[in-house]
Structure 1
Amino acid sequence: MRIKTTVATAALAATLMGTAASAETLRYAFQGTLNQLDPYTLNETFTLGSHGNVYEGLTRRAPDLTIEPALAESWEVVEPNRWRFHLRKGVKFHNGNDFTADDVVFSAERVRSEGSDLTTRIGADVKVEKVDDHTVDFILPGPNPILHYEWDTWYIMDKEWTEANNAVKVTSASDTTPNHAALNANGTGSYKIVSHEPGVKTVFEKNENWWDEAKGNIDRVEFTPIGSDATRVAALLSGELDMVYPIPVQDIKRVNDNAGTKALTGPELRTIFLGFDQRRDELLYSSVKGKNPFQDVRVRKAFYQAIDINAISDKVMRGLSTPSALLISPFQYSRSDEFERYPYDPEAAKALLAEAGYGDGFSVGMDCPNDRYVNDEAICQAVASFLARVGIKVDLNAQPKAQYFAKVLASNGYDTSFYLLGWTPGSFDSWNVLHNITGCRDDKGNGGPFNLGGYCNPKVDELSAQILVENDPVKRDELIAQAFTIIHDDVSHIPLHQQGLAWGVSDKVEVAQRADNQFHFRWVVKN
């Protein structure tokens, strides 16, 4: 099996409508910040997308999310458990260093090291061997048809540069002493970072020595985080900014009605869900002492049935969301229509709580970002309101994503009792969800690193292992159905919805809006 694909697509050509010759500057804003530049610090879509303008993986994804060659120009399975990647020759890092197989081997070791938030990109039992300067072998313990599905966001780093700057150790999301790689970048990508003020402003400039040809015409990009929805939208409407996202759903009409701007909307693959701490014997933040109410499936189901998902869709999301019964988008699993949400039923929720011994209710702390997902804090406020009606008092802790992720991830000991999270599977495949979100883990994060609440069912892990190596799509879908059935019955989490994309763009700008919500400059045309 040898794989080699082309870059151009008809959809991309139609979107970009040609490339203008004049130099252009793109000014844009996002609701959250870009803090650390280390590409292994945070497995979060905005951060990964930002890094993807500067760094590159062995593969990349087109606007329609198909896999394309990038730093590897081709690959093949030379033996059942040995994949060989043929690296692109003549590629330079931004500082002029040559890209070679040594950088791939080094990056494979570093991405799996302590502090990395992207350890799932390559299994710990996968051996990475240099064949020659432009060939690398990956030796697997068994078959894995999706080995490279997430490698578009496994960015290759310059071994020489990283070692010379004492930046081999990955700076974690909670680390307050960032190293050189956290504040500086040296990739092979289409843009270079020329200045970076963490949380304030980042400036990119076109890499004139990039190995590929950009389809857009942007020479300079200025990114500014703007947390306030009103301020962000006002900057777009006034012409101060060329592109902002997300656009609050209540402002979409206003953006479309304004002369010179438009709203780009579409389905996103991200699922927003709630999770519970099921691992500790006593919750960190609760009025219940000596036991953990979330270890009782009746309590978890009561929380689920207390939440009116249609009201959230209509009133909070203004119709820009699709209620979900699974932790994955229906676009990514062919049998998703076989699953239904538990119905909204506050009386049934009260009965379940009483049956579990919590008829008088209890209080619980809830962690929620306020600048990461569409209307994230408003969703959490709505959830708290619905739970109050069945006797649950929620103490909401909504904070910027930098503080939120630093608190709830493994680097800080999964410091949460009840939380909201969003997830787009980097592989666009169910195994990613089963491993990252529901896979059993220990207190150090070995296992499912984003299983913040510590849900564990060994049968799901057993099925997940089978799914990873199953090549037959029908058999694979059946195994996935079995795993999702168990998760649904266990009420491992509360799926809420797939949020919709809403970007605000100047009429002078054409962009490629990917369903994974990553924004790449090389496709932008400004007229």
Structure 2
Amino acid sequence: MHRLATALLVFATGLAQAQTLRWSSQGDMQTTDPHSQNEVMTNSLNNQVYEGLTRRMKDMSMGPALATEWTQVTPLIWRFKLRAGVKFHDGTPFTAEDVVFSMQRLRDDNAPQRVYANAVGIPKAIDPLTVVFTLDKPNPIVPELLANLFIMSRRWCEEHRVTRPLNFKQQEESYASQHANGTGPFVLISRQPGVKTVFKRNPAWWNKFEGNLQEFTYLPIGNDATRTAALISGEIDFVLDPPPRDVARLRTVPELKVVDGQENRIVYVGMDQTRDKLLYGQAPGDKNPLKDLRVRKALYHAIDIEAIKTKLMSGYATPTGGLTSSPRGAYGDPKLETRLPYDVAASKKLLAEAGYPDGFDITMDCPNNRYVNDERICIALASMWAQVKVRVKVNAIPRTLFFPKVEKFDTSLYLTGWGGGSTDAEVMLTPVLRNRGEQGVGVANYGGSINNEGDALAAASTTETDPKKREATVKAALQSFRDQVNIIPLHRQVIPWAMRKEVSIPHSPNNWASMDWVTVGK
């Protein structure tokens, strides 16, 4: 019996050692403070440690997480019952006071998620397992927004003096920059920014693991060829973003498999529409051409989107004229998805009418490790715009430098993307398209565009609870932003995930690998 028990223990130990995963992408998470950045890689890794009151399920529907149930008591009051027996990784019990504290922390000026935290109202702890949110105006998607508002331990934050989110755009560091204490399925073990981050299974997690993963290590590898070679050689087990030009080759490797899916994310060009003079560039009359609708339309017309799709993205992109992360955000209306046509002659004509027949000079800020082929897209755009005499200098920088730069509005022209789990138009309208305002409205409107008509319609849509009226209002808002070309949409990414044959990871439209669903081996 003793020998059998010993053999079983050895077998179980060996199995646990085998159930590990090494995975990679082109860029690292930016911080382990879950309230100081709102970027998908940072959020997805932090979400292995931290949880919200709700959770997005495999079919992208909303399900319970730290809250077991919720009720809209009145149009302005939501009641959430919290899960009993949950503990943070340091053993501290999870209570309603942690929810109240976290929502207060999320409303801080340093938190880019404050636009969502403000939208769900002010929480009050009724008892240790009940929280009531009181809103100042109706919000039909409160549970959906709460999925991305992660709960931190009040006690831990006070102990380590991190009661405010770190100011990431000012490159502030705090204890929460490289340490974490959540309630989630995995515990942060160690972090070496830009090198590796190690997580181990939380044996006290309240939920049931669907997969068998015991430990995973995230290893950012910026060079495409190196990342592909590491997967083929077996140095890593999973690549979230294999280069499109390598995907066909990866499909032929017997030890690997590729799983495809479209991401809920739109990649677009933003433009400074605030300053009277270009911050980075030179134009006739010392003006800012991007304030002129004709110039914005001219840049749009000069983009050969099919060339980007076929030659650059190898088909792994869906061109769109839409302004939402998913067509569902525009209720599948094809009129809201159509692009301005590729028309160089029309572009030149518009530039001449606007007073720029010989174009102008401008710098374009671009991440080089955030989106699929991001730097190459910017270079391709610069080449296309050169045909209409708009001379673009591409400033390609890592995401850790790019996002603080644009968040400080230190840009004239930029490439970025927006999306995630939610397909609702609200997550694009309020943070990205609306005029900059209070409580985080327009927080990601890095170009400072002002569209009063679109802003008013978008604001009305956030409080409209009648589904048909809300649909009409959302569509009208999107059409207004389209008419004014406040941003130039490019495409929605098609994301292939590449992994070893023995690894099973459910593909997700939010490009978000949930490690508690991962199985390694048979």
The two structures share one fold, judged by TM-score above 0.5? yes
User: 1:35, 1:388 → 2: CA distance?
Assistant: 34
Q: Over aligned residue pairs, what C-alpha RMSD do you find? A: 1.5
Once residues 513 and 125 of structure 1 are traced to their aligned partners in structure 2, the CA distance between those partners, rounded to angstroms, is 29
2:157 is aligned with 1:162: yes
Q: Does the 8 Å contact 2:119/2:139 carry over to 1? A: no
Question: 2:457 corresponds to which residue?
Answer: 463
- 2:358 alignment partner in structure 1: 360
Alignment of 1:393-404 (within 5 A): 393-404=391-402
Aligned with residue 114 of structure 1, among 106, 109, 119: 109
Q: Select the residue among 323, 335, 340 that pairs with 1:338.
A: 335
Q: CA deviation at 1:461?
A: 1.6
1:239 Cα offset (Å): 1.1
My pick for the range that moved more, 94-103 or 279-288, is 279-288
Amino acid corresponding to residue 361 of structure 1 in structure 2: G
> Is it true that 1:63 corresponds to 2:58 in the alignment?
yes
Aligned amino acid, residue 386 of structure 1: M
Q: Deviation of residue 22 (structure 1)? A: 4.5
Name 1:315's counterpart in structure 2.
311
Report the Cα distance in structure 2 between the residues aligned to 1:45 and 1:336, rounded to whole angstroms. 27
Equivalent position to 1:142, from 109, 132, 137? 137
Cα distance in 2 for partners of 1:41, 1:127 equals 20
Pair 1:326 & 2:319 matched: no
The match for 2:418 is 423
Could you list the per-position Cα deviations for residues 218-240 of structure 1 after superposition, in whole angstroms to 9, with x for gaps in the alignment? Answer: 11111110001111111111111
Could you state the TM-score of these two structures normalised by the residue count of structure 1? 0.93
Counterpart residue number, 2:8? none
Task: Judge conservation of contact 2:120–2:145 (CA < 8 Å) in 1.
Answer: no
Query: Hey, what does 1:384 align to over in structure 2?
Result: 382
SS at match of 1:433: helix
Which letter maps to 2:321?
A: A
- In the other structure, the counterpart of 1:350 is 348
Shift of 1:124: 6.4
Checking the alignment, whether the CA contact within 8 Å between 2:115 and 2:440 is kept in structure 1 is no
Confirm or deny: 8 A CA contact 1:35 1:199 kept in the other structure: no
Q: Which runs of 5+ in 1 are unaligned?
A: 1-19
Counterparts of residues 437-476 of structure 1 (less than 5 Å) = 437-441=432-436, 446-476=440-470
Select which of 180, 205, 224 maps to 1:229.
224
CA contact (8 A) 1:42 1:172 kept: no
Provide the C-alpha distance between the structure 1 equivalents of 2:191 and 2:247, rounded to a whole number of angstroms: 31
Q: One-letter code of the match for 2:353?
A: E
- What are the superposed Cα offsets for residues 288-314 of structure 1, whole Å, 9 maximum, x if unpaired? 264211111000000000110111011
**Aligned 8 A contact 1:269 1:331 in 2:** no
User: Which residue does 1:493 correspond to in 2?
Assistant: 487
**Shift in Å at residue 355 of structure 1?**
0.5
TM-score of the pair, normalised by structure 2:
0.94
Alignment-mate amino acid for residue 435 of structure 1: T
Question: 1:335: how far off?
Answer: 3.8
Counterpart selection for 1:374 from 349, 372, 375: 372
- The amino acid that maps onto 2:78 is W
Residue aligned with 1:225, SS: coil
**Does the aligned pair in 1 maintain the 2:302–2:388 contact within 8 Å?**
yes
Note the C-alpha offset of 1:523: 0.5
> How far does residue 446 in structure 1 lie from its aligned partner after superposition?
4.6
Q: Does 1:294 align with 2:287?
A: no
CA contact (8 A) 2:21 2:213 kept: yes
Residues 125, 141 of structure 1: 8 Å contact kept:
no
5+ residue gaps in structure 2?
A: 1-13
Alpha-carbon distance in 2 for matches of 1:475, 1:446? 25
- From 402, 406, 409, give the equivalent of 1:408: 406
After superposing on structure 2, the runs of 4+ consecutive aligned residues of structure 1 that deviate more than 6 Å are none
Matches within 5 A, 1:72-83: 72-83=67-78
Aligned length: 504
Secondary structure of the 1:150 match is helix
**Pairing of 1:271-282 with structure 2 (within 5 A):** 271-282=266-277
Q: CA deviation at 1:473?
A: 2.3
CA distance in 2, matches of 1:176, 1:352: 41
Percent of pairs with identical residues: 42
CA distance in 2, matches of 1:280, 1:148: 38
The match for 1:29 among 9, 19, 24 is: 24
Measured in 1, the distance between the counterparts of 2:267 and 2:142 equals 26
Match in the other structure for 1:514? 508
Q: Write the letter of the residue equivalent to 1:314.
A: T
Q: CA deviation at 1:336?
A: 2.9
Match of 1:179 in 2: 174
Within 2, Cα distance between the matches of 1:136 and 1:358? 58
Change (3 A) 1:445 1:344: farther
Q: How far, CA to CA, are the matches of 2:139 and 2:172 in structure 1?
A: 37
Give secondary structure in 2 for the equivalent of 1:437.
Answer: helix
Q: Give 3-state SS (helix, strand or coil) of 1:97's partner.
A: coil
Contact 1:21 1:217 (8 Å CA) reproduced: no
Deviation per CA, 1:316-367: give whole Å up to 9, x if none: 1111111111111214332431232110001110110000000011100100
